[in-house]
Amino acid sequence: MIEGVLIDNIVFEKMERSSRRFSPLEAGGLLLGYRKDGFLHAIDITLPGAWDRHSRLAFHRSVKAHRLRALRLWRKSGGLVDWLGEWHSHPGFALNPSGTDHRNWSRIAKHRKAPMLFPIVDGQRAELYLKQSHKAAPSKLIETDNDEKGRYFCVSD
Ligand SMILES: [Zn+2]
């Protein structure tokens, strides 16, 4: 069970910048950080690369290229940084998960056997969703606090 989520400001800045850069095509990547006693703390993301395929309604990331970048951060952190989830952009449309998003998120959470975070951004705003195996639908996260380092969220239900 996840009680709370902390996302560093740099994570939002990188997602928004990348989303604006690729708009009107979708962008995406992995979300990386720490898991600790019911809390998730995201500290970094991977960015779209030459091996990914973008369209207006989909983003297909190259599994290998993103894993390699995640692996580099994992090694640099002494094995502490974990894969927390996946972010992607909806440039110019609602930040609600699509049917494809729901299917992808379920598959990822099931495969990882861990709660996973799924931010959707549009260049200015972000919505965060958490997929936990004991719940059929992803929960939307609610911002409760923020400071100079990042933003804090709790699980809505
Ligand atoms: Zn989507």
Per-residue pLDDT of the chain (157 residues; tens, 9 = 90+): 899 999 999 999 999 999 999 999 999 999 999 999 899 999 999 998 877 888 877 888 887 888 888 888 888 888 889 999 999 999 988 999 999 999 999 999 888 889 999 999 999 999 999 998 878 899 999 999 999 999 999 987 6
What's the CA-to-centroid distance between 149 and ligand 1, angstroms? 27
Which pLDDT value is given to residue 62? Answer: 80
Which pLDDT value is given to residue 35? Answer: 94
Radius of gyration of the chain (CA): 14
Global pTM exceeds 0.85: yes
Give the span between the Cα atoms of 122 and 124, in whole angstroms: 6
Active-site residue (options: 16, 26, 86, 127): 26
User: Is 26 considered catalytic here?
Assistant: yes
> Phi then psi for 89, rounded to 5 degrees?
-110, 150
What's the CA-to-centroid distance between 32 and ligand 1, angstroms? 19
Give the span between the Cα atoms of 126 and 90, in whole angstroms: 10
What's the CA-to-centroid distance between 118 and ligand 1, angstroms? 10
Which pLDDT value is given to residue 86? Answer: 95
Q: Which domain holds residue 137?
A: 4-155
Cβ atoms of residues 75 and 61 within 8 Å: no
What's the CA-to-centroid distance between 76 and ligand 1, angstroms? 30
Which pLDDT value is given to residue 20? Answer: 95
Give the span between the Cα atoms of 38 and 86, in whole angstroms: 19
How many structural domains comprise the chain? Answer: 1
Which residues does 104 contact at the CB level (< 8 Å), separation at least 6? 86
Residue 19 CA, chain-centre distance (Å), reads: 13
Tokens 């911002």 belong to residue: 143
Q: Where residue 112 sits, what CATH number does that domain have? A: 3.40.140.10
